[in-house]
Amino acid sequence: MDISDWRRQIDELDRQLVELISKRAQAAHEIGRLKRAARMPIYEPDRERTVFEKVRGVNPGPLSDVDLLRIYERIIDVMRKIQKEEIAPSLAQELGNTELDSEVND
């Protein structure tokens, strides 16, 4: 394969990633609705640790576990923001940036 073939493959993979991330966001939104109804907290550190353990366990490489977890930290941060907006839309806007959006962590 030449560079244009690899780029076409990356374009297709990006399309698939966007589709999957959108599905994950929809699931997070629905979980936010359920949490609101059950008066559950948005942040659940045990659940996040479980997600990190699962993705680390299925990581085939070449991406290191550390880099994969950095990506997932961002994904989960965005999903948590979606849930905040579902549970308390006005509060989520007042809170502004999440901890991973601050300049300190960029």
**Structure confidence at residue 96 as a pLDDT band (50, 70, 90):** low
Range of the domain at 18: 3-105
Tokens of 98: 């999440």
Structural domain count of the chain:
1
**Per-residue CA distances from 32 to 43, 56, 61, 81, 99 (Å):** 11, 25, 32, 10, 19
Asked if residue 92 lies in contact with residue 77, where contact means CB atoms within 8 angstroms, the answer is: no
Reported as a single tens digit per residue, the pLDDT across 6-24 is: 999 999 999 999 999 999 9
Give me the pLDDT at residue 85, please.
Answer: 84
Q: CATH number, domain at 66?
A: 1.20.59.10
Reported as a single tens digit per residue, the pLDDT across 29-86 is: 999 999 888 989 999 999 999 999 999 999 999 999 999 999 999 999 999 999 888 7
Give me the pLDDT at residue 86, please.
Answer: 76
Sign of CA dihedral 23, 29, 35, 37: negative
Alpha carbons 24 and 18: distance in angstroms, whole number: 10
